[in-house]
Amino acid sequence: MLRVDPIHTLTSSLTPTLASGEAANPPPFTVSTIFTQTRLDGWIAVGLVLAAGLYLYGVHRLRVRGDHWPVSRTVLFIGPGLGSIAAVTVSGLHAYDTTLLSVHMIQHMVLSMVAPIFLALGAPITLALRTVTGAPRRRLLAVLHSRVARVFSFPLFAFGLFVVNPFVLYFTGLYRITLEHPFAHELIHAHFILTGCLFFWPLVGHDPLPNRWPYPARALLMLLSVPFHTVLGLTVMQSSTLFGGDWYPSLALGWADPWADQKVAGGVLWAGGEFVSVTMIAVLVLQWVRQSEREARRIDRELDRQEARERAAAASSGGTAT
């Protein structure tokens, strides 16, 4: 009879595998391995399926009710939103995130700076508020207006978390822990997504969040984040020590040089951070211009209505006098 020791199983799952074999020594990283090394066994994959299912169910309920929901929001949330998370956590990239620092940095950039933007543009909170009714809707509104939500959605607080977290991760022993323990590694992925959402949601999202800043302040906050990515990326590139200690050399990958890969990782962090930040500033400026145009049209309509009322009043008074 086969006996399974649950304690041994748990500790084994949290212990790095450095023995020979595919788990410790994946094949050389190529474009094809992104597809051949795909795995669907992580809890993040389950979360992605649930998130997509709930979102699509909400859209379906609105359509059945006869309400309109922009197709663009659905495409942004499911496609580059959830899709980009899947691309770096479910595809073959996931098989290399503990063997190549450069792959980990790609994950870092996508999870914290790409996916959150498109998730915010998908407006899932607005969709939930329009879908649910009764007590669930009241509870959701209570959460949105709670003190905790106000603190975590305050732009300066979210900005601090966003820029400080990478330094805490890479310049302490925390990064080595995430390499050694798969559960901690998965948690850091979720942490990247969460901090990115906290930072980008109030900046570009359509959901009704507290502490919404005007567009010039949002663009300025985004601009202030650029130097932090530059400093972090250059520090990684020019570091005289390997991040993760002897983890990467101990893998003995004949097809990868840890020192060269670390320089690539720093370049990814530097260039990727600046590209996303500059793009975000452009998006915020565009949103600002569109908001100004909408406000100008609203004022014009109000002035037209006021002028029409004045003409009607003048005509009425003239007719009475006659």
For tokens 């995130």, what's the residue? 97
Confidence of residue 18 (pLDDT cuts 50, 70, 90): very low
Q: Is 13 helix (H, G, I), strand (E, B) or coil?
A: helix
List the structure tokens of 219: 């663009």
74, pLDDT greater than 60: yes
Here the tokens at position 95 are 């098989």
pLDDT band for position 24 (cuts 50, 70, 90): low
Output the pLDDT for position 22: 39
Segment 187-225, tens digit of pLDDT: 999 999 999 999 999 998 888 888 788 888 898 899 898
Find tokens 């994946």 and name the residue: 26
| 173-188 pLDDT, tens digit each | 899 999 999 899 999 9
Q: Is the pLDDT of residue 16 over 50?
A: no
Q: Which of 28-32, 33-37, 195-199 has the lowest average pLDDT?
A: 33-37
- Percent of residues, the chain, with pLDDT higher than 70: 90
The span from the CA of 127 to the CA of 36, in Å, is 36
- Please report which confidence band the pLDDT of residue 321 belongs to, taking 50, 70 and 90 as the band edges: low
Measured distance CA(166)–CA(157) in Å, rounded: 15
Whole-model pTM above 0.85? no
Q: Give the mean pLDDT of the chain.
A: 86
Closest CA relative to residue 163, chosen from 218, 113, 217:
113
Closest CA to 104 of 175, 25, 163, 2: 175
The residue to which tokens 């569109």 are assigned: 290
Residue pair 193/116 in contact (Cβ under 8 Å)? The answer is yes
162-166-171 Cα angle (round to 5): 150
Residue closest to 28 by CA, chosen among 107, 92, 77: 92
Measured between alpha carbons, how far is 218 from 205 in angstroms, rounded to an integer? 12
Residue 2 has pLDDT above 60, yes or no: no
